Structure 1
Amino acid sequence: MGADLAVAFDEARAVWDGQAALPAMPGQPPLHRVVFPPPAFTREEVEAQEASLTRMIHAQPAIGTASLALLAVLERAGIRADAVAGHSFGEITALCAAGVLDRNTALSLAAERARCMEEAAAGSDGAMIAVAAGRERVEPLLQGLDVVLANDNGPEQVVLSGARAAIDGAATRLEAEGLRVVRLKVASAFHSPVVAQAAETFRTVLDGTAFGSFAIPVYANLTAATLWRRRGPRPAGRADRRHGPLPRDGRDALCRRCPHLRGGRGRVRC
Structure 2
Amino acid sequence: MSGDVSGDLAGVCAAARNVIAHYRADLGELTAAQRGEVDSRWLEDVLEVDARRTPGPLTEPRPVQHRVAGCCRDHSVFVVGALRGRGTPARTTVGFAHYLTPGWAVDHVVVDVHDGYRWRRVEPGLGAHGDFDVLDVPTGDGAPFETAARAWLRWRSGTSDLSTYGVRSRPDLSGPSFVGAYVVFQVAHRYGDELLLWDGWGAVADPLAHTALLDEVASLLVRADAGEEGAEDELFARYRRDERLRPGDRVLTHSPFGAPSRVTELGGEGRRVRAEG
TM-score (norm. length: structure 1): 0.26
Bigger relative contact order, structure 1 or 2 (CA pairs below 8 A, ≥6 apart): 1
Higher alpha-carbon Rg:
1
TM-score (norm. length: structure 2): 0.25
